[in-house]
Amino acid sequence: MQAKYIQSPLFPNLHYRVMGHGPAIVLLHGFPETGKLWSKVWDELAMDFTLIIPDMPGSGESSRCTESLTMELMADAVAWIMDVEHINDAIIAGHSMGGYVAMAFAEKYPLRLKGLVMVHSIASADPEEKKEQRRKSISLILKGGKQAFVRQMIPNLFSKTYKKNNFDELRLHTEDALQQSAESLADFYNAMIMRPDRVKVLADAVFPVLWLIGREDAIATSAKVLQQSTLANVNFVSVYDDCAHMGMIEQPVKLQQDIAAFAGYCNR
């Protein structure tokens, strides 16, 4: 694995990893994560694909964006990394917030997208009550409540069985999330509040879409995701039993196989 760092006035330090050989797959993490999120699947995928795994601006080793962060700016950061790596088009797999970024990328750079994997994610905007909830969380986080917010949030990402049997994994995950600054967490939540509805982008999609759904996911619920999973012209759906919002951690083998099979189809 190579760690790379690139700089611009907008992104004073953008960190990403490059691994493997073959057609490109970009793996975008969600909130409040870093590119390390993919560590249980990256070795296997790197056998057949070139992986690009950024830390989104303000997470991991990447510094915050110098402007108000948006999904569009994060999509620009992904396009910039692809330019630097001389990758014209790629499959993009986005986990939750990473899926919102991937949708912004799909709208802005449709011809650079060979296939889209929506990993526990949706194309629609937040409903008003969700935006209000996020505003309250931002206020709590910025008033010194980051610990409370993260400690309450992380267990809700995992299925009942997984969290009962993997206490240490949850603890490590919480510690990692706590590394992010309160300001960065607020940046991401503001970007989520501001993101527009992109359901229409699916209807216009010239690329195939793979939907990965956790049956116990309380955030991207199976009902919500299934509603959108027929909107693109070519859709594949994989439902994970005994899994919530974190398929790459709860069921990494299945997730890696699903992405590899889809990537095989997109590069056929």
Q: Which residues bind ligand MLT (CB under 6 A)?
A: 30-31, 96-97, 192, 219
Q: At closest approach, how far in Å is the CB of 56 from ligand MLT?
A: 10
Q: At closest approach, how far in Å is the CB of 128 from ligand MLT?
A: 14
Q: At closest approach, how far in Å is the CB of 47 from ligand MLT?
A: 27
HSE-up of 171 (CA within 13 Å, CB side)? 5
Assigned token pair, 76: 């620009």
Q: At closest approach, how far in Å is the CB of 138 from ligand MLT?
A: 12
Q: 102 or 192: whose CB is closer to ligand MLT?
A: 192
CB atoms near residue 265 (< 10 Å)? 14
Q: 28 or 46: whose CB is closer to ligand MLT?
A: 28
Q: 97 or 259: whose CB is closer to ligand MLT?
A: 97
Sign of the torsion angle spanned by Cα atoms 135, 140, 146, 152: negative
Asked if 104 and 80 count as a contact pair (C-beta separation under 8 A), the reply is: no
- d(Cα 158, Cα 168) in Å, to the nearest integer? 13
- d(Cα 256, Cα 96) in Å, to the nearest integer? 17
Q: 122 or 263: whose CB is closer to ligand MLT?
A: 122
**Residues pairing with 101 in the sheet:** none
Q: Phi and psi for 117 in degrees, rounded to 5?
A: -110, 115
Q: At closest approach, how far in Å is the CB of 177 from ligand MLT?
A: 11
Q: Phi and psi for 75 in degrees, rounded to 5?
A: -65, -40
Q: 90 or 185: whose CB is closer to ligand MLT?
A: 185
